[in-house]
Amino acid sequence: MSIHQLAICGATGTIGREAVRSAVEHGLHVRVLTRREQSARQLFSQYADNIEIVTGDLTDLNDVMAFVQGADGVIMTHGAPYGDERGYKAIDFGAVANVVSALSGSDTKIALMTSIGTSHSDAPVLAYKRKGEEALRASGLPYFIVRPGWFERGASGNAQLMQGDRIEYGQASPSDVGDVLVEGLLDPAITAHTCEVFTQDTEESIAEQLAALHADA
């Protein structure tokens, strides 16, 4: 299914902004969910012709259902503030469960951002991100899970995709992460895939690296 209408959760955050940028550059119409409409309008004023601002809360299933209605694809870059364990459950896991529920029975593709270490760490935030990944994989919806390294705007190089979640530390440029999320969502061959993203010295394009990814077992 081709994607024209994209819904982005967490759009006002560091990676969400880059996902909006990349999506607009790819010619998509973007819908964002926010609790602060006016600040979002100011933040994305340069994309006014390509963006729709929707007021709502990711933890409210009714808001989420209205938000994703008619979307061809969804990108999720949301996350609770560090140290907010109640937020981890409600947002890092609960928001994914809400989106999955809202899209049940459809073929809408979801690109979900979590973090390196999600597959094995017992840290509360990563444990709930893991629950979010598990909910998405079990949903039957087409998906692409992206686990970036630590965000660093000054990281030099290009997007490097890896699999296996074996690297405990590495930097990732927010712009690279945003590009990987969008390009993976748009790639029709990526339907049940998980990868890590770092910014390193590589000459391979994102598209070339996406083509080499193995689907989840």
Rounded CA separation 198/181 (Å): 13
**Which domains are present in the chain?**
5-211 (3.40.50.720)
| Token pair in block for residue 175 | 């712009």
Rounded CA separation 117/129 (Å): 10
Please give the model's pTM, rounded to 2 decimal places. 0.96
At 155-183, the pLDDT tens digits run 878 999 999 999 888 999 999 999 999 99
At 121-131, the pLDDT tens digits run 999 999 999 99
Percent of the chain with pLDDT over 90: 90
At 78-89, the pLDDT tens digits run 999 888 889 999
Neighbours of 43 (CB within 10 A): 19
Q: Given the structure tokens 């390196």, which residue do they identify?
A: 116
